[in-house]
């Protein structure tokens, strides 16, 4: 019999760049479809799935600001980029027969629902995948922080951060052959060693509310499902 999921409710953070595939901008429909299939598989196993998608494949406030734009305006554009990504993923999930709802931290009611915590939890209980869009709704934050915040708010048992590396290393594994992967790290180690797992605000939130965080390689099909079944893949950051 297939292994039962270990977690009842999870929050998965995908960067905007995860949707680009080999391109350097935008969304690759094939990559989007593959990610959507992996997410729907979790849901079919009875796991409640919340998703936060970044916007870095389209706009980042910091990048726009360094090109001369007002930072807050740039951050608004970055948040709107996350809404576009969430809409694309909602569409891909629905194409596979799953039910999904985009909930935005910024009101854009013609496009998606507002984020209302109790309604989000209701969607999850009814088996809908909830896509938390527009980050925290505030400039000067990131979607990593939004992911930690929403995970704590909805009582997720695990926060998963998908990256292109199979965990957290003590040095860049692409540059140093003998770079060592951590299997476990404490929140404070991540912060004091400045390991760039997520921004410090996000890690601090995980630490303060004792939310376990696992970093894994999104390019390995099946790992997401195995992690949710309880396999120790990637790096676990915990108390
Ligand atoms: N952003 C923001 N507030 C938030 C979340 C995101 O202002 O709470 C903006 C910010 O400009 C950020 C952009 O949206 O650069 C895209 O998010 P992020 O950089 O976290 O995306 P990722 O790197 O995960 O693709």
* Mean pLDDT on 88-99: 98
Residue whose CA lies nearest to ligand 1 atom number 14: 78
In three-state secondary structure terms, 130 is strand
| pLDDT band at 122; cut points 50, 70, 90 | very high
CA of 156 to the centre of ligand 1 (A): 21
Q: Flag whether 140 is marked binding.
A: yes
Ligand 1: residue of 82, 84, 105 to mutate (most ligand atoms within 8 A of CB) is 82
Give the ligand 1 atom nearest the CA of 57: 25
So what's the pLDDT on residue 196?
A: 87
* Mean pLDDT on 10-39: 96
Exposure of 184 in the CB half-sphere (CA atoms within 13 A): 4
Q: Flag whether 137 is marked binding.
A: yes
DSSP conformational letter for 108: -
Distance CA 168, CA 183 (A): 8
ipTM for this model: 0.99
So what's the pLDDT on residue 1?
A: 61
Ligand 1: residue of 73, 75, 89 to mutate (most ligand atoms within 8 A of CB) is 75
In three-state secondary structure terms, 39 is helix
Show the tokens assigned to 235: 């790096």
Domain boundaries, the chain: 9-238
**pLDDT of 35 over the 90 cut:** yes
So what's the pLDDT on residue 69?
A: 98
Q: What is the pLDDT of residues 62-81, one digit of tens each?
A: 999 999 999 999 999 999 99
Q: What is the CATH number of domain 9-238?
A: 3.40.1160.10
Provide residues with CB under 6 Å of ligand 1: 15-17, 54-56, 60-62, 74-75, 78-79, 81-82, 135-136, 138-139, 141-144, 146
Q: Flag whether 139 is marked binding.
A: yes
CB-CB neighbours of 74 under 10 Å: 21
Q: Exposed, middle or buried, 139 (CB in 10 Å: 0-12/13-18/19+)?
A: middle
Q: Flag whether 13 is marked binding.
A: yes
The residues with which 47 forms a beta bridge, in sequence order, are none
Q: Exposed, middle or buried, 200 (CB in 10 Å: 0-12/13-18/19+)?
A: middle
Residue whose CA lies nearest to ligand 1 atom number 16: 55
Ligand 1: residue of 11, 54, 131 to mutate (most ligand atoms within 8 A of CB) is 54
Q: What is the pLDDT of residues 133-177, one digit of tens each?
A: 999 999 999 999 999 999 999 999 999 999 989 999 999 888 999
In three-state secondary structure terms, 120 is helix
Distance CA 131, CA 83 (A): 9
Show the tokens assigned to 206: 């995980």
């Amino acid at each position: 019999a297939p292994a039962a999921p270990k977690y009842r409710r999870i929050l998965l953070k995908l960067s905007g760049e995860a949707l680009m595939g080999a391109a350097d901008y935008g969304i690759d429909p094939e990559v989007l479809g593959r990610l959507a299939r992996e997410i729907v598989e979790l849901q079919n196993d009875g796991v409640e799935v919340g998703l936060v998608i970044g916007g870095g494949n389209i706009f980042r406030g910091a990048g726009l600001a360094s090109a001369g734009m007002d930072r807050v305006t740039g951050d608004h554009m970055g948040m709107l980029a996350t809404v576009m990504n969430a809409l694309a993923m909602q569409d891909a999930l629905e194409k596979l027969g799953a039910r999904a709802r985009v909930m935005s931290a910024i009101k854009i009611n013609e496009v998606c629902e507002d984020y209302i915590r109790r309604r989000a939890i209701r969607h999850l209980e009814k088996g809908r995948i909830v896509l938390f869009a527009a980050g925290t709704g505030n400039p000067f934050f990131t979607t990593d922080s939004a992911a930690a915040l929403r995970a704590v708010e909805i009582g997720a048992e695990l926060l998963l951060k998908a990256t292109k590396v199979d965990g957290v290393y003590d040095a860049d594994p692409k540059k140093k052959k003998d770079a060592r992967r951590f299997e476990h790290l404490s929140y404070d180690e991540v912060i004091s060693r400045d390991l760039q797992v997520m921004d410090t605000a996000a890690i601090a939130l995980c630490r303060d509310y004792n939310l376990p965080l696992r970093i894994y390689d999104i390019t390995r099909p099946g790992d997401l499902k195995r992690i949710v079944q309880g396999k120790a893949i990637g790096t676990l950051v915990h108390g």
